[in-house]
């Protein structure tokens, strides 16, 4: 079966003061219909850049796609006109942002904002009203939140409203970029589970972006680990958690708070992610890796270990 | 303060619009046997050199001043707001072109520009309104553009982009409502300054032409009698101008404090 969405060797750079900052350096991924795909990695590794590039929203004043393809529905989205691309955004591929308060206009009632999102894609207002009301049920919100202004709702409730906004036009793909990260831990889990149930109910395919690997263990069928704009490891969720092949993934998993013994000491990976203007030669993770050896001066290729489980390491 | 200003403005509108019912004498009616009378119970602000009732002339002059104020600000809004929206939202060459024009207009001393234009055209109330309107849009354009640039960066605009809204829709739905507050503030202050400009022009004989009354030309008549104890010729028109301009400024500043606590509508 061919994938619903395929990203091929995508390279994206930002430009600052004449310098080119490579934020994505050849990312490939495949999203199949009905799949829940997780993308993780420390902050600054390029997750949001990837989401923006898929939607064709890298601001041309700040950067641009250098090469690669984003294939959806047999079309390369990167080649579409901005008018055609608007027919994709919010209609075929929707995105939920991190900060629910930021993603709504503070001075307009939620009802009008939701309605407008349906109308821009050619819905009749009656049809949109009906859709909103059924979606509010689906995300377990009372109908009267329509009459509210954004600041009158809690973060968790408002994030559910953004889910309604994202689903109004019955998209095929839903991208959630750190959509739970600003919320309480318990609410994070609830929203994540809600997204999973909506995925089943509306036959969605999900790209779930988070730096929180714990959540992905619940959410994702396949997980992609990004580091400094590169894919370091990718594989089925169970396999990746049980047998992480890359020292970076191992480090991330070791650094997770242990659910069974709360209060135990955290072991973060020493050092920090390199910024795009200081990408190391050879293996990008080399300066922080405790297994480093001679060969790491050369860039490792992406290798397949167990079936469907890839990693980029000489070990 | 703002409330005081507002009450004064409401009162002024009321009085100006009901002028024919309030005035006991025609503003044009001359009575040479009664010239230069100090205030009495029949002529509560006295009479001028032609024996006309100054109170009536000030009432009717108020209609002129307020009309000029509002019409010229409306003209400025019609030009300034769209230009500011376009410059801020589309940016690029268009932005550069518009902002250069704004810079040129702003560094040109407006009053001289107005004087020049009016001396070439006929000095009358319509030309005054047009010229004030045509010269007072640049600061509006600049505010609106700044506001658009700030709003454009906000996450809900990106969210609208991600949901597939067209540029124009984003402009109308998200940007325009967010620039209304500074626009209202600037417009209110603008009416006050337009009233003042009109008075100056009429005072110089380049605005409303006698016998039509305007605060500026009433004041101009009084100038010839300075030093002759005819204080009412100067005091009342001057007070009318002063109170009106103050009231608009007070309301404008009050709105700023309420609607725009960050001061984004402030002159930059
Ligand atoms: N508009 C921008 N201009 C310049 N650099 C940017 C811009 N946006 C992101 N970056 C840089 O690109 C890298 C990836 O950023 P991002 O995709 O936001 O990471 P993540 O979402 O994984 O935290 C970071 O180093 C960040 O500093
Ligand atoms: Mg991010």
DSSP code of A78?
A: G
DSSP code of B174?
A: I
In a 13 Å sphere around the CA of A67, the CA atoms on its Cβ side amount to 3
Task: State the Cα–Cα distance between residues B241 and A188, nearest whole angstrom.
Answer: 62
The position carrying tokens 């009342």 is: B236
Interface test with B, best of A105, A172, A182 (most B CBs within 10 A): A105
pLDDT of residue B29: 82
Pull the structure tokens for residue A158: 């408002």
Query: Could you tell me which residues come within 8 angstroms of residue B171 by beta carbon, excluding any fewer than 6 positions away?
Result: B85, B89
DSSP code of A89?
A: B
Q: Residue A6 in contact with residue A71, Cβ under 8 Å?
A: yes
A/B interface, count of CB pairs below 8 Å: 60
Give percent helix, percent strand, percent coil of chain B, each to the nearest 5: 75, 0, 25
CATH number of B2-15+57-260: 1.10.3720.10
Q: If you take atom 27 of ligand 1, which residue's CA is the nearest one?
A: A44
CB-based contact B162 A91, cutoff 8 Å: no
Closest listed ligand to the CA of A41: 1
Minimal CA–CA distance to A217: which of A50, A29, A99, A40?
A: A40
pTM assigned to the model: 0.79
**How far apart are the CA of A69 and the centre of ligand 2, in A?**
21
Minimal CA–CA distance to A208: which of A23, A29, A84?
A: A29
CB-based contact A89 B163, cutoff 8 Å: yes
Statement: residue B10 has pLDDT above 60: yes
Mean pLDDT of chain B: 88
* pLDDT, tens digit (0-9, with 9 covering 90-100), for A28-53: 999 999 999 999 999 999 999 999 99
* pLDDT, tens digit (0-9, with 9 covering 90-100), for A218-268: 889 999 999 999 999 999 999 999 999 999 999 999 888 766 666 666 778
In a 13 Å sphere around the CA of B9, the CA atoms on its Cβ side amount to 22
A43 CB within 6 A, ligand 1? yes
Q: Which of A207-216, B20-29, B47-56 has the highest mean pLDDT?
A: A207-216
DSSP code of A209?
A: E
> Which residues lie across from B83 on neighbouring strands?
none
Task: State the Cα–Cα distance between residues A46 and B65, nearest whole angstrom.
Answer: 61
Ligand 1 atom nearest to CA at A14: 4
Order of strands, sheet of A5-16, starting from the edge strand that comes earlier in the sequence: A19-31, A5-16, A63-72, A75-76
Q: Residue A223 in contact with residue A40, Cβ under 8 Å?
A: yes
Percent of chain A past pLDDT 70, that is, above it, reads: 97
Percent of chain B past pLDDT 90, that is, above it, reads: 45
* pLDDT, tens digit (0-9, with 9 covering 90-100), for B97-156: 999 999 998 888 888 888 888 888 888 888 989 999 999 999 899 989 998 998 888 889
């Amino acid at each position: 079966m061919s994938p619903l969405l395929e990203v091929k060797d995508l390279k994206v750079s930002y430009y600052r003061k004449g310098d080119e900052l490579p934020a994505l350096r050849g990312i490939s991924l495949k999203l199949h219909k009905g799949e829940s795909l997780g993308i993780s990695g420390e902050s600054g590794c390029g997750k949001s850049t990837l989401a923006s590039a898929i939607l064709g929203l890298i601001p041309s004043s700040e950067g641009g796609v250098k090469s690669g393809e984003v294939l959806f529905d047999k079309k390369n989205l990167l080649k579409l006109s901005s008018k055609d691309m608007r027919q994709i955004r919010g209609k075929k591929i929707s995105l939920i942002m991190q900060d629910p308060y930021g993603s709504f206009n503070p001075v307009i009632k939620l009802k009008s904002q939701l309605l407008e999102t349906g109308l821009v894609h050619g819905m009749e207002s009656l049809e949109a009203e009906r859709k909103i009301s059924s979606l509010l049920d689906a995300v377990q919100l009372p109908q009267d939140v329509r009459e509210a202004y954004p600041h009158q709702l809690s973060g968790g409730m408002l994030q559910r409203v953004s889910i309604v906004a994202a689903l109004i036009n019955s998209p095929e793909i839903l991208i959630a970029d750190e959509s739970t990260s600003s919320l309480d831990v318990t609410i994070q889990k609830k929203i994540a589970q809600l997204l999973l149930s909506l995925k089943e109910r509306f036959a969605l395919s999900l790209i779930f972006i988070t730096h929180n690997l714990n959540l992905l263990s619940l959410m994702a069928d396949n997980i992609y680990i990004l580091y400094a704009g590169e894919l370091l490891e990718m594989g089925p969720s169970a396999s990746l958690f049980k047998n992480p092949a890359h020292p970076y993934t191992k480090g991330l998993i070791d650094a997770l708070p242990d659910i069974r013994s709360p209060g135990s000491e955290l072991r973060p990976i020493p050092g920090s992610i390199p910024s795009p203007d200081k990408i190391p030669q050879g293996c990008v993770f080399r300066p922080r890796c405790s297994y480093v050896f001679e060969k790491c001066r050369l860039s490792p290729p992406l290798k397949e270990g167990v079936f469907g489980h890839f990693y980029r390491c000489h070990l | 303060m703002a409330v005081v200003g507002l009450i004064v403005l409401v009162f002024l509108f009321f009085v100006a619009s009901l002028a024919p019912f309030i005035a006991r004498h025609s503003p044009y009616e001359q009575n040479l046997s009664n010239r230069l009378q100090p205030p009495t119970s029949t002529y509560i602000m006295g009479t001028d050199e032609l024996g006309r009732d100054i109170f009536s002339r000030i009432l009717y002059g108020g209609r002129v001043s307020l009309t000029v104020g509002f019409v010229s600000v409306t003209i400025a809004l019609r030009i300034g707001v769209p230009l500011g929206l376009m410059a801020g939202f589309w940016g690029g060459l268009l932005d550069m072109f518009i902002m250069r024009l704004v810079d040129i207009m702003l560094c040109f001393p407006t009053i001289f520009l107005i004087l020049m234009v009016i001396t070439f055209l006929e000095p009358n109330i319509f030309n005054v309104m047009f010229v004030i309107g045509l010269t007072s849009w640049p600061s509006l354009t600049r505010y609106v553009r700044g506001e658009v640039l700030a709003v454009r960066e906000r996450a809900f605009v990106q969210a609208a982009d991600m949901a597939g809204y067209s540029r124009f829709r984003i402009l109308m739905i998200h940007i325009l409502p967010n620039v209304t507050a500074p626009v209202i503030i600037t417009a209110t202050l603008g009416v006050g300054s337009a009233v003042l400009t009109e008075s100056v022009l009429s005072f110089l004989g380049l605005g409303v032409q006698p016998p039509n009354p305007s605060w500026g030309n009433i004041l101009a008549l009084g100038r010839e009698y300075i030093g002759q104890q005819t204080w009412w010729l100067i005091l009342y028109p001057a007070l009318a101008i002063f109170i009106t301009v103050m009231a608009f400024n007070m309301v404008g500043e009050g709105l700023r404090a309420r609607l725009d606590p960050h001061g984004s509508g402030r002159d930059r």
